[in-house]
Structure 1
Amino acid sequence: MVSWVLRIVVAAALLGSAGVHYFLWTEDYPGIVGPLFLLDAIAGLVLAIAVLAWRHWLPALGAFGFGALTLGAYLLAATVGFAGNHDQFNSQPEYWGVITEAVCIVGGLALLFVKDRRRVSA
């Protein structure tokens, strides 16, 4: 039960981050940043499906890595700049992105350590 609730929370966070990045992609960011937003949107969707459909440690690790990498890239953009982009942390997409990616990190890490009570073939 706990595992399923955690999987749903992580999948929702992945979908939330994917939605934020899709929205940012539609805003026509210049250079490589725009395509990276689209890649994040697709990756978040694929990982959300994997977290719900595949009871294995790999999707949990993917959710953790996705959150860590996207949050890390955002922190670079908000401090020193990243790929010609410098953010200010002053908009709704930025707030929601940080929240959803933090949930991906914490939830993905928790999923790595929560054991399913049912036997699962790997």
Structure 2
Amino acid sequence: MAATRPVAWPWRLLTALAVAASGAVHLYLVGSQGYGGGTGNWLETAFWLQGVGGLVLAVLVLVWRSPLPLLGAVAYGLSTLVGFLLAVYLPDGLVGVQSVWGGWAETVSAVTEVLAVVAGAAALLAERRRPV
């Protein structure tokens, strides 16, 4: 009888909550705050994609028992956090977009993106272990 691969549900749930929260913050910022510089701006499009992508990844992490959505969540968290930090700390911002660190949205995003990386990696490691 073949052994089944374990599913790290607590880590998957935490990963899904983290990417969903980050996605929701991005949707809030672009939808209600006009964040991104107006219609047609590349940053506005990027924020819409980040928001929708976070919500889709959250669902995939929970319903698809493959390591791929977990890898996607880790990449999502890393890329989003690094992009924000570059926009804050580079002298000219990221591709001409200067951001500031402050406010609840930036804090929630940063925390949830770090959490997505840590929880996603923990789920990958837990699910990689072979059952005894």
TM-score (norm: length of structure 1): 0.89
Q: What stretches of structure 1 of length at least 5 have no aligned partner?
A: none
Identity value in percent: 35
Kept in 1: contact 2:7–2:65 (CA 8 A):
no
TM-align CA RMSD: 2.1
Q: Deviations over 1:56-87 (max 9, x none)?
A: 11011000000011001001111111233212
Correspondence 1:110 to 2:115: no
Runs of 4 or more consecutive aligned structure 1 residues displaced over 4 Å after TM superposition? none
Question: SS where residue 102 of structure 2 aligns?
Answer: coil
The yes-or-no answer on 1:61 pairing with 2:71 is yes
The alignment covers a number of residue pairs equal to 119
Q: CA deviation at 1:108?
A: 1.1
Report the CA distance between 1:103 and its aligned residue. Answer: 0.5
Residue in structure 2 matching 1:9, options 14, 17, 23: 14
Q: Could you tell me the TM-score, scaled by structure 2's length?
A: 0.83
2:62 alignment partner, one of 24, 46, 52: 52
Q: Deviations over 1:17-73 (max 9, x none)?
A: 011100111222212111101000111011000000011110110000000110010
Structure with the larger RCO, 1 or 2 (CA within 8 Å, 6+ apart):
2
In structure 2, distance between residues paired with 1:24 and 1:55: 31
What CA deviation, in whole Å up to 9, does each residue of 1:74-116 have, x standing for no partner? 0111111123321221111000000000001111111111128
* Aligned amino acid, residue 68 of structure 1: L
Residue 60 of structure 2 contacts residue 69 of structure 2 at CA under 8 Å; is this kept in 1?
Answer: yes
- Match for residue 39 of structure 1 among 11, 26, 49: 49
Distance 2:28 2:121 in 1: 27
Ranges in structure 2 where 5+ consecutive residues have no aligned partner? 1-5
Q: Do structure 1's residue 18 and structure 2's residue 23 form an aligned pair?
A: yes
